[in-house]
Amino acid sequence: MSSESDAGEIVVLTLREHADGVWITRLVDRLVDCLARDGRTIRVRSLEDWLGRGRLVSGAGFGGVAGIVNRVSDAADPALFKACASLLSSAASSGVPVVNGPASYAVCASKWTQHVLFARAGLASPTTVAFYRDGDPRHRSSADDVAGRARDAGMAGDVLVKPNSGGFGKGIRRIRLDDAGSSPGDFLPAFDDRVMLLQQYESPRALYRVWFLNGRVQCATERTPGGPGDEFAGACAGSCSVAADLPRTCRVPDEVRAEVEGKILPLIPDAFCGSVEFLVRGGDDGDARLYFDLNLLSTLPLRSDNTSGSWDDSYDPWEELAKEIIGFFSASRAR
């Protein structure tokens, strides 16, 4: 069956401010190498500039596009998120293959829906409450108000106030319930989509990020927090290191592989690549895992980051990602 995707350009879609980010440039370099003899071309397009040129909505509007690799941040501001979701839906319904399509993009843009997904998968996650803040000054949320909501949900000790949509630990605040209300007028910030999460703070012994690719686990990193608040700073993303408080590559236990591949990914079938994060609590809980984040756009480790020897020295996660993407588009073109 023919479609608009029979043409030759593969679009790597991102935000204008992220066009030079390593999560774009490293992938594009590998894609270019993979397509050297293929005849198709790679083009990085920013969402703002592509949509700014105008889109034909009454008919076929994706001529010349062989496929779209969605690398738009799922923490984009609400206006850009809505624009991206509409573009991805339009492309998919027009027969253009999309890596990380509209359904998974919607789930990953909301920590609220991520926790619902973990619950549907039968996996544990920190106790979490989501509520909408409408911007009315009478409904501002003070630390005391947040403490009351947290206690109503059965939380105790410390709680986290988190944005529903966000990344790299931005906007997260830790509140001790026993101290809430001691500073009158201590109002918490509003978030872009007006949804705030309250989450039971769990002290992590270690944090893990597990990358997935085309329905299976790809690789993983682990990190030991270096101090108070450090567990919020990007978790296990970015470059790896032998330092205790930076990510280290690690092997993926069979039980984690089974949870990611057999329980999480079947619930989001158009999630082609991304990562899942969980923490392992300190204390007497052994290796109990609490899942807390699902992400479509996280920076893979480099081949040289594998100082722990968790995989073969010749293995390059970025090259594998590029080859799987090309294979996905080739299979779509053949149908």
pLDDT value of position 3: 41
| 42 or 234, greater pLDDT | 42
Q: Which two tokens stand for residue 56?
A: 């034909």
The reported pTM is 0.87
- How far is the C-alpha of 183 from the C-alpha of 188, rounded, in Å? 12
Q: What is the pLDDT of residues 251-292, one digit of tens each?
A: 999 999 999 999 999 999 999 999 999 999 876 556 789 999
| 91 or 36, greater pLDDT | 91
DSSP for 109-125, written as a single string: T-HHHHHHHHHHTT---
C-alpha distances in angstroms, 242 versus 34, 64, 223, 232? 31, 45, 10, 19
Structural contact between residues 207 and 231, judged by C-beta atoms closer than 8 angstroms:
yes
Residue of 216, 215, 234, 217 whose CA lies nearest to 225: 234
